[in-house]
A and B are shown apart, each in its own frame.
Chain A
Amino acid sequence: GDSVTQKEGLVTLTEGLPVMLNCTYQTIYSNAFLFWYVHYLNESPRLLLKSSTDNKRTEHQGFHATLHKSSSSFHLQKSSAQLSDSALYYCALNSGGSNYKLTFGKGTLLTVTP
């Protein structure tokens, strides 16, 4: 079945430093969509980025990610971390398949310190 791996469970950064959260995935389907959801404390998880196009950079709210099908990766990046970026970030896969469900990684808790 589908799977998503986020190796880092916790990332702590100083404000102003670059952010990179890793996401790799496995699926047998070639038309998969990859998503990044952000979950702030006491709020609902919400979509940050999504992509299905190989080697195309997707950007939103200062974050960007590029889907690389050759390496099955969809890493989330930002050039300069802000205190307000502190949140839980989930990478998710929708491979279509037979049910169009989202398969989530375990999440990476990003903490940005002054």
Chain B
Amino acid sequence: DPKIIQKPKYLVAVTGSEKILICEQYLGHNAMYWYRQSAKKPLEFMFSYSYQKLMDNQTASSRFQPQSSKKNHLDLQITALKPDDSATYFCASSQDWGDFAEQFFGPGTRLTVL
């Protein structure tokens, strides 16, 4: 059974619209993360959360807003979508924040903005 679920797997949106990417982890972890991979670029850190509290934000734009309704959920809301937002978004989790523990990744949501 998948331990980190991301929904949807594929998402197509129009410029200016808003979408929410879903992430749920069933590993019992306390820390969750979002990474983004744009075409021909490395995986890039976006956010980290610990016990539903934002620990770090490395995105320059306020259009990206994480939402954590439960400890094992970390959704990503993206508003006013732009074609440059097209990327695969990976959710990850680790046992705790603030250590060097392995981060486990979900399968990703591939977002295409037209």
Q: Which residues of B contact A105 (CB under 8 A)?
A: 42
Q: How large is the interface on B (under 10, 10 to 19, 20 to 34, 35 or more residues)?
A: 20 to 34
B102 CB within 8 Å of chain A: yes
Which single member of B44, B90, B100, B104 contacts A100 (CB below 8 Å)?
A: B100
- Give the number of residues in A that approach B within 8 Å (Cβ atoms): 26
Contact B55 A44 (CB under 8 A): no
Which single member of B42, B106, B107, B108 contacts A107 (CB below 8 Å)?
A: B42
Contact B105 A44 (CB under 8 A): yes
CA distance A44 to B107 in the complex (A): 4
User: 1/0 per residue A30-51: CB within 8 Å of B?
Assistant: 0001010100001111110010
Q: Which residues of A contact B13 (CB under 8 A)?
A: none
Q: Which residues of A contact B35 (CB under 8 A)?
A: 102, 104
Contact A104 B97 (CB under 8 A): no
Query: Please, which residue of chain A has its CB at the minimum distance from the CB of B46?
Result: A101
Q: Which residues of A contact B43 (CB under 8 A)?
A: 45, 90, 92, 102, 104, 107
Q: Which residues of A contact B108 (CB under 8 A)?
A: 44
Contact residues of B between 67 and 114, Cβ < 8 Å to A: 90, 97-100, 102-108
Which single member of B41, B56, B99 contacts A101 (CB below 8 Å)?
A: B56
CA distance A50 to B104 in the complex (A): 13
Minimum CB–CB distance for A65 against chain B, Å: 15
Contact A99 B103 (CB under 8 A): no
Q: Which residues of A contact B21 (CB under 8 A)?
A: none
Q: Which residues of A contact B106 (CB under 8 A)?
A: 44
Which single member of B48, B56, B90, B99 contacts A45 (CB below 8 Å)?
A: B90
B32 CB within 8 Å of chain A: no
Q: Which residues of A contact B105 (CB under 8 A)?
A: 37, 44-46
B22 CB within 8 Å of chain A: no
B45 CB within 8 Å of chain A: yes
Sample (13) of A-B pairs whose CB atoms are under 8 Å apart: A4-B42, A37-B105, A44-B104, A46-B104, A50-B102, A90-B43, A99-B56, A100-B98, A100-B99, A102-B45, A104-B44, A106-B42, A107-B43
By a beta-carbon cutoff of 8 Å, the part of chain A in contact with chain B is 4, 33, 35, 37, 42-47, 50, 52, 90, 92, 94, 96, 98-107
